[in-house]
Chains A and B, each alone.
Chain A
Amino acid sequence: MKPHTRNLVLLAIGIVVAIALPLVVTSSFAIDIFVRILLFSFIGVAWNLMGGYAKQLSLGHAAYFGLGAYTSTILQIDFDISPWIGMVAGGVVAMLASLPIGWLCFRLRGPYFTIATIATAQALMLIVLKFRDFAWGAEGTTIPNLGSAPLMMQFESKAAYYYVVLGLLALGLVITYLIERSWMGYYLVAIGEDEDAAEAIGVNAPKIKRDIYLISSFLTALAGTFYIQYIYFIDPPTAFNFNISIEAALVSIVGGIGTLWGPVIGTVLLETTSTLLQSWLGNSIAGVQLTVYSLILMAVILWRPTGLMGMIGEMRQRRVSRKSARA
């Protein structure tokens, strides 16, 4: 089989498995894990567009996750507007917020860009904490449970949530695929490789970075709305959790930074590890999960900076060269 055909076959199998999975595995515990995997894959995909291709290593994506979550929740509770609309509204709010935040943070490069993104996300959380009348302050609020109300993004079965987040991930992957193959994708990679050189050959780096930040923050906000609808609760530390920013970057780097499937593969590995650890050790010891994550991250950085996708690529390369050596 040609590599191209084989990839298409693999993709088709993947889609069938993803759609059939909740029909075969019906335990709600398992579906909960699948939802987590799909959700963090999606967040990773959103992060990877900017962090992976353009190498703008943000650790502040929790800001957009939180903005999406709060926009849809405020619209739902105070104005009775469906979270489906709220989700898109949250995405728009996140895009609008990314303009001033990007304007500030893109003035810095490398590690100082990263620090600035952390500071802006933390500042946003502190601001929401202060708005007690507007956004319930530190206590947060529960989302009113309407039972089965698909129009309000509330479902009786966990499988329905699975399909919603599967749809989000598909959206993220399609957008990434299209960008990867467009002029924008090449500009992003050029900026990621060497921003000054990219600008010297005529890439409008500030504009490209702004545009990809818009897309990345929009997608991250969608994840925020979904997550709050899924857990029926919102407060600033949940919605603006620094761990969201960390995991978005982590799954992309472990899976393969700047690759289409990297965030998905990274999430599958990390979430599976974390689930196994939890069933083995229980939830009793705090910090085990992130200890293991950080060890995996260090190992990847020290030995395989291209991540799991890089390893897969090398294995394929070796097989091809062995074949051609025989021929």
Chain B
Amino acid sequence: MWETVAQAVINGLLIGGIYALVSIGVTLIFGVVKIVNFAQGEFVMIGMYISFYLANQFGIDPLLSLFVTMPALFVIGVLVQHFLIRRVLGPNDMPQIFLTFALSLLLLNLALMLFTANYRTVHTSYSDEAYHIAGLYIPVAKLIAFVVAMFLSGALWVFLHTTDLGKAMRAAAQNRDVAMLMGINPDRVFCVALGIALALAGAAGSLLMPFYSAYPFVGQVFVLMAFVAVVMGTLGNVIGALIASLLMGIAESLGIQYVGADSGLLVVFGLLLLTLAFKPTGLGGKAR
């Protein structure tokens, strides 16, 4: 009995690391630029396809392609901020919500046109390997993904708390106007925030590739999870998003184990709705 529970918790925790990379990106953009990036999942998808083609064409291991996807997505993030998001920043919600939403639709459907709806997988030497510890089954690829995800989250935390640029980003997140008065260039800070957030999404894509299929809709799974995690954790809070994501992974996994294979997402939505019902303000309620 306890072994099934423990196994479900471990499965959830490991995938929760990936959710964390996506949610931290969403929460970082929300905290600094004050917009919700509906397209975050599509950047995970792009990361996955880059890794897939690098593996398929050049035989590059998906984990090594991290060094391609992260810089590539960073650049895309800067471009998206500079050419698109910057133009809709203001008090009006509609353009902000629907710009990134349109971007999500666009990327998803472009992928559908370019790559078709087929599932793409990469098989690595460690794809099927697993550790057996105390009757528990721990797949190597997922463990690596989890460890790297935690490392990247930690690195981001250190960056935000020790470097000047990181501190400038946190200052801009706390109070944009005062930060500008202190000589912080908001455009530059916003570009870096988008770049980092998308680089994390790209990293999630590469880390997923050894054990997960790439297909145009793949980002939707991750972005929904990230939104729930970001609403449940405190908005704009990296640590909050991280913890909520791990919990979310565990909740989903327990849902699959005990409610039904198709019900992981249902449990997660249930959690979101319960949060909204009982603790909406403390968890990001009226924040804008």
Chain A residues within CB distance 8 Å of chain B: 55, 57, 59, 104-105, 107-112, 114-116, 118-120, 122-123, 126-127, 129-130, 246, 249, 253, 257, 285-291, 293-295, 297-298, 301-302, 305
Contacts and interface: CB of A to CB of B under 8 A. Distances in A.
Interface in B91-120: 92-99, 101-103, 105-106, 108-113, 116-117
B97 A302 contact: no
28 contacts: A55-B94, A57-B97, A105-B276, A107-B280, A108-B276, A108-B285, A108-B286, A110-B288, A111-B93, A111-B97, A120-B269, A122-B265, A123-B270, A288-B109, A288-B113, A290-B105, A291-B105, A291-B106, A293-B105, A294-B102, A295-B106, A298-B84, A298-B99, A298-B102, A298-B103, A301-B95, A302-B84, A305-B95
B260 interface: yes
Given A301-B95, A305-B92, A111 B36 contact: yes
A286 B96 contact: no
A288 B270 CA distance: 34
A115 B36 contact: yes
Given A104-B273, A108-B285, A112-B284, A291 B99 contact: no
Nearest to A297: B102
Interface stretch (B50-58, B121-129, B180-188, B223-231): B223-231
Interface of B: 35-36, 84, 87-88, 92-99, 101-103, 105-106, 108-113, 116-117, 216, 224, 227-228, 231, 260, 262-263, 265-266, 269-270, 272-273, 276-277, 280-281, 284-286, 288
Contacts of B288: 109-110
Interface centre among B102, B272, B277, B285 (most CB of A within 10 A): B102
A201 B269 CA distance: 36
B224 A122 contact: yes
B26 to A, nearest CB: 10
Given A111-B93, A114-B97, 4 more contacts: A108-B231, A108-B280, A118-B227, A302-B99
Given A107-B285, A297-B105, A127 B276 contact: no
Contact of A115 (B96, B112, B227, B281): B227
A253 B224 contact: no
A49 B54 CA distance: 48
A295 B102 CA distance: 7
Contacts of A107: 276, 280-281, 285-286
A253 B101 CA distance: 13
Contacts of A290: 105, 108-109
Given A116-B272, A119-B272, A246-B105, A301 B99 contact: yes
